[in-house]
Structure 1
Amino acid sequence: MRISQFKNDQARDRFQAAYERTLAQLWPGERTALDLPTAFGTTRVYRTGPQHGEPIVLLPGSGGNALMWHRYIDTLARRRPVIAVDTVGEPGASVQSAPIGDGRDGAAWLDELLAALDVTDAQVVGCSYGGWLALNHQIHHPGRVASLTLLDPAGFAGFGPRFYAWLIAGGLAAAAPRPLRPRLARLVGNSTVLEGELMGLMRASMGFRRALPVPPVFSDEELRRLSVPALFLLGARSALHDSREVADRIGGLVPSARVEVVPGAGHALPTDRPDLVADRILHAVGR
């Protein structure tokens, strides 16, 4: 089994320079960077906000890192401690040293990370792949998480042609001249195209070879094991799955869950409806 890594030193150096530049641009406020060891590699996290209280732990989507949450940090950190994570195996400041082969491995990594942070009542927010990791953690290692907020999480449908077409169209739109991007973002239904700094960081990550598992669909038995309060926010126009079908399935299997299908939003929910998402996160953690 492989691990995620840069293809050579030049690719790593180019990405690290872009990462530090983007971090300074998008997150200019105070933060504490921590590099925490786990069995799967060293994980970079950023802490900000109050010193005390149950933290909000932010897990990015596939191909992303802590910087995807830049527009949320100030709003959330005014009310709670915030821990933004560079997931091991994704392009960021974390360094993977052992393979993550499946959801159990991903859950074990997250449990080790929360233990290293001395977190026992985390309010975990996971986007897409990060939502899949958060769900696996709760299924396999319950006890450290007080609540889940899941933004169009993976694990409820296979990655079909529609999703890959959405990804490719978004990538092409992001490479277009800046004046054309707003129109193209609407056309392809992917508002991340408008995140110019993050799109530049994504281009700098092209020399990164990602080797994380493709999320399989959760079984009914797995979902029935969820017991903590969980808010599922699903984009009505998600390219990943049929959100109404997912909502019905969750409603029938997870009594502790609340599901909201967000009109006018797609899989890029955090950039499609940032104000709504921030409000729902704070409501879920009790403000």
Structure 2
Amino acid sequence: MNVISTRQLAKRYGKTTALRDLNLEVRQGEVYGLLGPNGAGKTTTLRLLIDVIRPTRGSITLFGEPMSPRLRGRIGYLPGELVLYDRLTGADYLRFCGALRDHADLGEATTLAKRLDLDLDRRTGELSKGNRQKLGLVQAFAHRPDLVILDEPASGLDPLAQREFHAYLREYIDGGGTALFSSHVLSEVEHVADRVGILLAGSLVVEDTVASLKANALRELTFTFAEEVAAATFSGIPGVQSAQANGQEVRCRVTGAVGELVRTAARFPLVNVTSHEPDLEDIFVHYTEERGDDD
């Protein structure tokens, strides 16, 4: 079942196109990471999904239905720029949010606050950026939503808090929840996301599992030989995108299987081979540079 489904979703602000014909599906029980440079359309997408702004065209269904007040109660949301009432304590703020949702039980909120080492008795105006972010996360999960939509959830969190939140998120998913989040912390996405989508200039340019993206990404193999070997020896091999020689070293950039490349290298006096396996950051940069987009 798709918890989130969009069809030809587009948003324009005057002459500026923020989102172009987005077809996005997020399945029940998965963590979907949305990537993209600043201005790519990530926050616009999340705001459209929770009905804060309306699309120029296209459609959105959540749990198979259009957005409604009833569905809002099944969704937890963390905005990218969290606004708090500085005179309220964290507990007061959570009670206020609970009243808006008609959900007075703060049991889940208290549990998560303890796990994140967040003091709910302090006024929000006294909290650091990291603790304000923790409070935002706590309110998003406080009413035990079926879906959470999180804009940069790791922003401001220290490594220990990030680790604890990731563990909690996995427990939430294992319990039947679904999560869509945007992030600039690519290591976070690689660690917790089941699938990722990359938005560039308002368009979804690639969507796949992290494992599949890495398996098909451009990787680099460097061969060191006992004698000089011409780079042209490797240039015609399937999958090899480029080959450069520097003395007794040949550096090849390749996609897909590397068996034929390695067999070719083994015909020469091979001393050493090293491989740089791509991570999600490499993949993200590759797509961004390929499209000529920047921040």
Q: Name the TM-score class by shorter chain.
A: under 0.3
Task: Choose between structure 1 and 2: higher strand proportion.
Answer: 2
Q: TM-score when scaled to structure 2?
A: 0.27
Structure label with greater radius of gyration: 2
Please identify which structure carries the higher helix content.
1
